[in-house]
Amino acid sequence: MKSQWIKSLVAGLVLTCISFPLLAQQGDSGGGVVAILDVAKVFKDNPVFDTRMKKIKTEADALKVKMEAQQELIRKDAAGLEEFGVGTPDRNNLEASLEQRQTALRLQARQAETDLLTREAGIYYDTYTQMQSVVANLSNQFGISLVMRFDSAPISRDNRPEVIQGVNRTIVYHHKVDLTDHVIRAMNPASASADQ
């Protein structure tokens, strides 16, 4: 008798485990569809995001060249220390000047890097909030109640970090309800103007 009760309990649990995902997708109010979205692909395929990020990279590269040039000037001026004897006023003045310039250059580089990183964060934020708005509109339009992030990148069997990352993905399987391409099209100004 106890064995039969355990079998019934296990059968009930198995049925619940099988039917729960179906109920989650169908929803009890008719609007419980679950969809997926490859956020990394949305960012990668967004031309506005790409253009803005390339501009930041160009500015960062120009800043690096400028800082290296100023560092080289400081090094050249530091070579002039040999002209003065140790402890002479001229040498002490030049050492103090070089130290001030070096400190000012480090502060300038740190501030410029902070500004670039802040602007970069703003670009990510703007793109993400635009994506959220598009996802909300599509979800309302198609009766989707939950959109889950997933990664569609292929996994290389021989690349351990990729395999570990793939094994840890939240979404193991999905069936057709992928909003990624819809979101990419909606966020692309060229395709949006072509649709009008």
Contact 42, 183 (CB under 8 A): yes
**Domain CATH for 62:** 3.30.910.20
Q: What is the pTM of this model?
A: 0.71
- Please give the pLDDT value at position 130: 96
Question: Which structural domain, as residue segments, surrounds residue 191?
Answer: 31-195
Q: What whole-number distance in Å separates Cα of residue 76 and Cα of residue 175?
A: 65
pLDDT digits (tens, 9 = 90+) for 142-171: 899 999 998 888 888 898 988 888 888 777
Instruction: Output the pLDDT for position 62.
Output: 95
pLDDT for 47: 95
Q: Are residues 7 and 75 in the same domain?
A: no
Query: Span 44-58, mean pLDDT?
Result: 96
Whether 18 and 60 share a structural domain:
no
pLDDT digits (tens, 9 = 90+) for 87-139: 889 889 999 999 999 999 999 999 999 999 999 999 999 999 999 999 999 99
Distance CA 166, CA 149 (A): 13
The proportion of the chain whose per-residue pLDDT surpasses 70, expressed as a percent, equals: 81
Q: In a 3-state reduction of DSSP, which class is residue 148?
A: strand
Length of the chain measured in residues: 196
